[in-house]
Amino acid sequence: MPFVWLAFFTSLAYLGLLFLIAHYADRRARQGRSIGANPYVSSLSLAVYCTSWTFYGSVGRVATDGIGFLPIYLGPTLLFLVAPFLLRKILKIAEAQHTTSIADFISSRYGKSQRLAGLVTVVAVIGIMPYIALQLKAISTSFDILGSYPVISTYLPHTTSVLNDKAFYVTILLALFTILFATRRLDASEHHEGLMVAIAFESLVKLFAFIAVGVFVTYFMFDGFESIYDRVAADAELALLISGQALFDNGSWTFLMILAALAIFCLPRQFQVTVVENTDRSHLDKAMWLFPLYLLVINFFVLPIAIAGLVTFPLGAVNPDTFVLALPMSAQQPALTLLVYIGGLSAASGMVIVAAVALSTMICNDLIVPLLIRLGLFHFGREASDTATGMLKALRRISILGVLFLAYSYFKIIGDSYALVTIGLVSFAAAAQFAPLIIGGVFWKGATLAGALAGLTSGFLVWGYTLVLPSFAQSGWLPLSIVEQGPFGFTLLKPQALFGVSWDNPLIHSLFWSAFFNIGCYLMVSLFTRHSLIERTQARAFVDVFSAKSDYVTRPWEGQISIADLQRTVERFVDRDRVVRLFGRYRDGGVPGYSPGMDAPADLLTQVEKLLSGVVGSASARVLINTSLRRTNINLDSVLDIIDEASSAVEGSREVLKSVIENVDQGISMFDQETNLVAWNRRFVEIYGIPEQMLRSGVTLGDICGYNIDQGEYGVVEDREAFIRQYIKDTFRPQRVVFEKVRPNKTVLELCRIHLAAGGVVTTYTDITQRKQAELELTRLRNLLGNIIDSMPSALIGIDVAGCITHWNREAERMSGIKAAAAIGEPLSRLIPRFPDVLQKVERAIGELSPTQETNLRWEDAKGEVHYMDVTIYPLLAESVEGAVIRLDDVTETVRMEEMMVQSEKMLSVGGLAAGMAHEINNPLAGIVQSVQVMNTRLGPDMAKNRQVAEACGTSIEAIDDYMEQRGISPLLEMISESGKRAAKIVSSMLSFSRKSDLKFELRDLRLLLDETVEIASNDYNLDKHYDFRKIAIVREYAEELPDAWCEGGQIQQVLLNLLKNGAQAMFEAASSAVQTGRNDRFILRVYRDRQWVCVEIEDNGPGMSAAVRRRIFEPFFTTKEVGSGTGLGLSVSYFIITQNHRGSIEVKPVREGGSCFVIHLPIDPPERV
C-alpha cells in the first residue's frame, strides 16, 4: 500500500477514535459518571492553544528568528503564574451571566447590546479565519509531503481543483465531527464534555508525538544536546540566529509576550475552553501550574529539531515549517513519520473543531437570530415558532459549515503568502482587539457601550488596514503600490509605515497602532458619554462580582406575560425537561398566591432570560422576551399623580429624618455604591473639620480620604493612591464593622459601618475619648490592685455569700497548684476539702461580721508533704455582706523553726550535761590509769625497793613476776591501762567537739580531722536497733603529699560527722529492710588535692538517692526520714558552713555500684573574705 494511502486511512481511523472517545465521555456524563469534569481534562483542553503553529511553525520560526518562538509561550505562562486573579474574575462573571461565547460576555457587560455582540462576532470571524486556514494549510502540506515518501519533495504542486484538494475533504470531515458533537443540544452554555475529553486526548497525542521526534532527532540522529549545540557554536551565523538578538533590539520580544498573554482569554477558542466549558472554577488552581508545564514540555525540543533541520538540509531545500516531518523521513523512519503526521493532525484538528464551535455559536446567536427577529421571521410568542428548536439547530450547523468553508477559501486565496507562524500572529493581533473591552469591562465601571463600539471598531479597522490589506496585496489581489507608496501615493498612510512610523516587524507596527486607536477611543468616548440604566447595572454586576450581592441584575421589563404562557413559549426554544424543572422550582419556592394565570414576576423573567441566554445569547434572549410581553395602557396623567403623591410622602419623611440626624451627637455619613457622598450631618463635619466647599454633589469617598491624608489624619502615607484604593475597599466590605480609631489629636472615635442592600455604606462616628480615658484609669487601678494582691506573700481567696471563689491570687496558685482561671467560680469546699472547720469559720465570720483567725492548721499537700497554715477570715462589707476574704499564711518554716529551737535547747542542755559528766568521768579514769602505772612500777624487777619488800615477805620478785606471767596478770594490767587511755581520749574528743568557742580559721590537715571525726562517730550505736558504727568498714585513700586546708576545725568536724552519721544510718536501714547475704557496709574516705582546693570524699555503699532527692538534699527542712526522726536541717547547715563560711563547695553524686558520694572542696589559701 502506498504510504500516502496508509496516512489517509490512519487519519480516518484517528478521527474515528476521537469520535468514540467523545461519544463515550458524553454517555458517561448523561449517566452522572462524568470523566470530563475534572481539573486534568480542563487543564489539558487548554492545550488547544498549541496548534499546528506550535507543532510545525515554532520550528520554522527558529529558522528565521532563533528563540523568537518563546514569547508566544512565555506570555500565557506568566499570565497563569502572575495574574490568575483576572481569569478567576472572568470565570466568576461568566458563571453568573450564563455566558455562551466571548461575544456574549462582552455584550453582556455593555448593556447586552446586540450591536456590540454582532461587531465582536464579525471581528472574530474575520480575524480568526486566517488561523483556521493555517490549520487546514498545515494538514494539507503535511499530507502532500507524505505523498512522495520516502523522498522529501521540495516542490509541492498547487492544486487548483477543489475536488482534487485534500484540504477540502479534511474540511468536510472536521465539519461533520464538529456538527455531531456541538449541535446536539442548543444550550451553548452547557458543557460539551465529550468534545473536551477528545480535545484533552488530542493534547496528549500531539505532546507524545513531538517529544518522540525530539528524542529521535536529539539522541539518534545526533549524539545528544551537546552534539547539536556544538554545531551552533561552530557556525557564527547560526549562533547569531539562534540567539534571537534582533528580537531584543527592536522590542518584539515584549510585544509578542503581551500579545500571547492576551490571546489566552481573547481568542474565541481559548475563551471557549477556558471560560465557557469550565465546569468548576477550582479547576483553575490545577491549570495554573499544569498548563505552563505543558507549554514547557512541548517546546523542550523545538531548538534541537530546528538546528538539526538547518544543519541536515541545504539552505532553501526544505521548508523550515516541515522540519518536524522531514527529519524522520530523511532517516527512513516510516512509523515515526506517521506518528508525527498524526500529532500534527491532532494539533490542527483540535483547534479547528473548538474554533468552529465558538464561532458558529457567535454567528447564530449574535448575527443570524437578531437579523431574523428584526425581519419578523423569529418571534418568541408566535405559535409558528414551535419549530424554533429545529431552526436554531439547523442555523448552528450551517454556521459551522460556513466558518470552515470560509477558512478553506481564505487558505486557497491567501494561504501561500505567509508562513504558518505569520498567519497565526495575524489572528492573535485581531483577537487582541477584544482585550481593552474585557479588561476595562471587568475593572472599570465607567466604560460605556459607545466607548466599546468606538474602540473595537477603530482597532479592528487599523488591524485590517495594517495587516490584512498587505497580505491581499502580496497575494496579487490588490496593487502592491498601496503597501509600498500608500493609497493614492499618500506616504503617511502606508499600511506598514503609518504616519511615517515603521518597525522592522509589520506585526509590531500593527499592534502598536491598533492598540493606540482602540484604547484611545475606548477611554475618550467612555469619559464623554453616559451610561444607560442597563449599562450601569451590568457594570456593577461585572466589576463587583465578588461582592456579597452580585446577583443577576438588569433593567425593568417592558410589560407582562402570564406564567403559563411564558412556560409554553420557552418550551419552543429549550428542552422541555429543563423548562419544567425551572418553573417547578419557582412554583415550589413558596410564592404567595401562586397560580399559572398570574403575571410572571420580574425575578422569574430574569431566570427565563438566563435560560434562553444559553440558546440564543444574552442580547437576543432579552429581545425575544420583550417581544412577547403585553404593554400596559396606564395614561401619563395617572402616572404623574402617583409620582407626585409618593414624592410628597417621601419628602415629609425625609424632613423628619434629616432633623433627627442633624441633632444626634454622632457623626453620620452615607456613600452610595459609586462611592459618592449622598448624606451627612453637622457632627460629621465638626469631627473631621471638612470645608463647606467640599460638601457638594459628586464628592466621593476618595476625595474625603485624600483630604484627611493631607490633614495628617492617617499619619505618614507613602503611596497615596494605593492607600485610597485600600480605604475604599475596606469601607465597602459587605459585613457590618465596628472599630476604634485614635486620631492625631488623641481623641478616640468609634466607627460603625453598615452595608446597605442597595450597595451603599452608612458610617457613624462616636467620640468615646472620655469613656476610653475612664476605662484606661479603671484598668490601671485594677491592674495596680491586682499586682499588689499578687505580690503579697499570703494566699488571698475572695468568696461570695454562696461560697464560690471570686478571687485567687498568685500565692494561692502556688500553694494549691490550681490556676486562677480554673478556681474562679468554683465552690470553696471543692478546692479546699481538707479544712471543713475553716468553712464553718467562714460562715461564722460572715454571720457575726467580725474577723476570725485560726493558727497552725496542719495539712498535707498532693505530694504528702506536711504544711502548717494560719487562716484569717475577713468579711466583706458594703451596703450588705458581699462575701469574705480568706488569708492563708504558710507558717510551716516558722513552726519547724520553733520545734528546732526547742530541740536545740534540749540538745544544748544534754550537751552541757554530757560535757559535765565527761569531765567527772575523766577524774576516775585518770586515777585508774595512774594506779595501773603505779602497779606496773611496783611489780617491776628494776626497782630495789620491790626486791626488798618481796624478800621481806618470804618470796622473790622473780617468783612474783613468774606468777603474774603464769596467771596472765600483766596483760590484764596492760589492757586496763590501754582502755583507760582510750576512754580518756574519747572523753577528750567529746569535750573538744562540744566546747563552745569563737571561730578560729587556720591551716589544718584534713586527714587528721577526718580521722578524729571517725573516732567520735565510732561511739554511735543503738542497742535496741542493733546498730553499731564500729561494724562499718573504713577504707582510707589519703594522698601522701597533701597541703593543709584553710578551715575552722570544729565546723568541718560538724559537717563530716553529719555526713558519716547520715551514711551509716542509711546503710543500716537498707540492711534491715531487706535480707542481704554477704553485705559489708563500708565507707571509702578520700583526701586529695584538686588545683587550689583540698578535696574530701565520703563514699558509702548504701541505697543511694534518686535524682529528685539529690536536687533537694540541701534544702532546709527537707528529710527522707520518718516524721520525728529528723529535722531536715543537718545537710542544709552543712551546706551553709562549707559554701558561706569557708567559700568552698559541697555536692553529692551517685555511685555506679550503689550508694552516694559527698564531695567537699575547701580552699588551700585563705579566701579574701570569710
- pLDDT band for position 924 (50/70/90)? confident
- How large is the average pLDDT for residues 228-239? 76
Least confident interval from 360-374, 563-577, 1092-1106:
563-577
Q: Do 48 and 270 meet the contact criterion of CB atoms below 8 Å apart?
A: yes
Q: Is the bond preceding 304 in cis, omega lying within 30 degrees of 0?
A: no
Fold of 664-772: Beta-Lactamase (3.30.450)
- Residue bearing the bigger pLDDT, 4 or 528: 528
Full DSSP string of 1044-1107: -EEEEHHHHHHHHHHHHHHHHHHHHHHHHHS--SS---EEEEEEEEETTEEEEEEEE-S----H
Q: Do 537 and 553 meet the contact criterion of CB atoms below 8 Å apart?
A: yes
The pLDDT of residue 457 = 93
Q: Which of 350-364, 388-402, 588-602, 859-873 has the highest mean pLDDT?
A: 350-364
Q: Which residues pair with 1035 in a beta bridge?
A: 1084
3-state secondary structure 531-563: CCHHHHHHHHHHHCCCCCCCCCCCCCCCCECEH
The pLDDT of residue 126 = 86
Least confident interval from 297-311, 447-461, 599-613:
599-613
**Cα–Cα distance, 1039 to 271 (Å, whole number):** 97
Helix pair 84-97, 71-82: axis angle to 10 deg: 70
- Residue bearing the bigger pLDDT, 53 or 772: 772
- How large is the average pLDDT for residues 786-795? 82
The pLDDT of residue 553 = 43
* Integer CA distances (angstroms), 284 to 87, 550, 627, 1053, in order: 8, 21, 39, 86
The pLDDT of residue 429 = 87
Burial pattern 722-759, b for ≥16 Cβ within 10 A else e, equals: eebeebbeebbeeeeeeeeeebeeeebbbbebebeeeb
- How large is the average pLDDT for residues 911-923? 66
Cell of 588: 415550589
- pLDDT band for position 652 (50/70/90)? low
- Residue bearing the bigger pLDDT, 1048 or 901: 1048
The pLDDT of residue 548 = 44
- How large is the average pLDDT for residues 180-199? 68
Strands 493-494 and 1082-1090: unpaired
Q: In the block, which residue shows the cell 417547578?
A: 584
Domain locations in the chain as residue ranges: 3-258+284-418, 559-633, 664-772, 792-890, 893-996, 998-1170
Class of domain 998-1170: alpha beta
Cβ atoms < 10 Å from Cβ of 33: 8
The pLDDT of residue 455 = 94
Long-range contacts of 972-981 (CB under 8 A, 24+ apart): 973/932, 973/935, 973/936, 976/928, 976/932, 977/929, 977/932, 977/933, 977/936, 980/925, 980/928, 980/929, 980/932, 981/929
The pLDDT of residue 249 = 59
Domain 792-890 has CATH 3.20.20.80: no
Cell of 258: 503581551
792-890 and 664-772 share a CATH fold: yes
Strands 1082-1090 and 805-808: unpaired
**Cα–Cα distance, 448 to 532 (Å, whole number):** 9
Q: What share of the chain is helix, strand, coil (3-state, %, to 5)?
A: 65, 10, 25
Which among 275, 353, 370 has a CA at the least distance from the CA of 617? 370
**Cα–Cα distance, 365 to 622 (Å, whole number):** 12
Q: Do 753 and 731 meet the contact criterion of CB atoms below 8 Å apart?
A: yes
Cell of 446: 465607567
**Cα–Cα distance, 5 to 34 (Å, whole number):** 37
- Residue bearing the bigger pLDDT, 366 or 985: 366
The pLDDT of residue 551 = 42
Burial pattern 189-208, b for ≥16 Cβ within 10 A else e, equals: bebbbbbbbbbbbbbebbbe
Q: Do 466 and 131 meet the contact criterion of CB atoms below 8 Å apart?
A: no
Q: Do 1162 and 1052 meet the contact criterion of CB atoms below 8 Å apart?
A: yes
Q: What is the largest CA-CA distance in the chain?
A: 183
- Residue bearing the bigger pLDDT, 855 or 985: 855
Q: Which of 637-646, 759-768, 812-821 has the highest mean pLDDT?
A: 759-768
Residue 48 has pLDDT above 80, yes or no: yes
Residue 804 DSSP symbol:
B
594-646 per-position pLDDT tens digit = 666 676 766 677 777 766 665 655 656 666 666 665 544 444 344 334 444 44
**Cα–Cα distance, 683 to 669 (Å, whole number):** 10
The pLDDT of residue 629 = 59
The pLDDT of residue 458 = 93
The pLDDT of residue 1147 = 92
**Cα–Cα distance, 553 to 606 (Å, whole number):** 8
- Residue bearing the bigger pLDDT, 1142 or 1119: 1142
What's the gap between Cα 210 and its chain centre? 39
Residue 1093 has pLDDT above 90, yes or no: yes
Which among 106, 103, 109, 94 has a CA at the least distance from the CA of 535? 109
478-496 per-position pLDDT tens digit = 777 777 777 877 878 888 7
3-state SS assignment for residue 906: helix
Q: Do 355 and 132 meet the contact criterion of CB atoms below 8 Å apart?
A: yes
Q: Which residues pair with 497 in a beta bridge?
A: 494
Long-range contacts of 476-484 (CB under 8 A, 24+ apart): 477/413
3-state secondary structure 321-347: HHHHHHHHHHCCCHHHHHHHHHHHHHH
Q: What are the backbone angles phi and psi of residue 181, rounded to the nearest 5°?
A: -110, 0
**Cα–Cα distance, 114 to 1129 (Å, whole number):** 102
Strands 1033-1038 and 1021-1022: unpaired
Residue 137 burial (10 A CB sphere; 0-12, 13-18, 19+): buried
Full DSSP string of 10-51: HHHHHHHHHHHHHHHHHHHHHTT--SSSSHHHHHHHGGGGS-
- How large is the average pLDDT for residues 499-513? 81
- Residue bearing the bigger pLDDT, 697 or 819: 819
- How large is the average pLDDT for residues 572-578? 65
- pLDDT band for position 552 (50/70/90)? very low
Helix pair 420-431, 58-65: axis angle to 10 deg: 100
The pLDDT of residue 297 = 92
H-only helix segments in 98-157: 102-109, 114-146
Least confident interval from 78-87, 405-414, 856-865:
856-865
Number of H helices, E strands in the chain: 49, 21
* Integer CA distances (angstroms), 896 to 189, 892, 1109, in order: 91, 6, 20
- pLDDT band for position 784 (50/70/90)? confident
- pLDDT band for position 994 (50/70/90)? low
Residue 1122 DSSP symbol:
P
- How large is the average pLDDT for residues 1002-1015? 89
The pLDDT of residue 863 = 66
- How large is the average pLDDT for residues 70-87? 86
- How large is the average pLDDT for residues 55-61? 83
**Cα–Cα distance, 144 to 322 (Å, whole number):** 11
The pLDDT of residue 550 = 43
The pLDDT of residue 646 = 46
- How large is the average pLDDT for residues 736-761? 86
Length of the chain, in residues: 1170
**Cα–Cα distance, 1060 to 1014 (Å, whole number):** 8
Q: Which of 31-40, 837-846, 1073-1082, 1097-1106 has the highest mean pLDDT?
A: 1097-1106
Residue 335 has pLDDT above 70, yes or no: yes
Within 13 Å, how many C-alpha atoms sit on residue 308's CB side?
A: 30
**Cα–Cα distance, 741 to 765 (Å, whole number):** 10
Which among 774, 755, 761, 749 has a CA at the least distance from the CA of 686? 749
113-132 per-position pLDDT tens digit = 888 988 999 998 888 887 78
Residue 420 has pLDDT above 60, yes or no: no
- How large is the average pLDDT for residues 1088-1108? 89
Q: What is the dihedral of CA 779, 780, 785, 790, to 10 degrees?
A: 90
- Residue bearing the bigger pLDDT, 819 or 236: 819
Strands 1082-1090 and 1033-1038: parallel
Residue 1088 has pLDDT above 90, yes or no: yes
The pLDDT of residue 635 = 43
How confident is the prediction for the chain on average, in pLDDT? 78
**Cα–Cα distance, 662 to 747 (Å, whole number):** 22
- How large is the average pLDDT for residues 568-577? 66
Which among 875, 878, 901, 898 has a CA at the least distance from the CA of 887? 875
Spatial neighbors of 614 by CB under 8 A, at least 6 apart, are 98, 100, 186, 187, 188, 189, 190
- Residue bearing the bigger pLDDT, 370 or 653: 370
Q: What are the backbone angles phi and psi of residue 187, rounded to the nearest 5°?
A: -70, 105
Least confident interval from 755-769, 832-846, 1008-1022:
832-846
1025-1061 per-position pLDDT tens digit = 556 788 888 999 999 889 999 898 888 988 998 888 8
**% pLDDT > 90, the chain:** 8
H-only helix segments in 940-1039: 944-952, 957-967, 969-994, 1006-1017
**Cα–Cα distance, 157 to 72 (Å, whole number):** 31
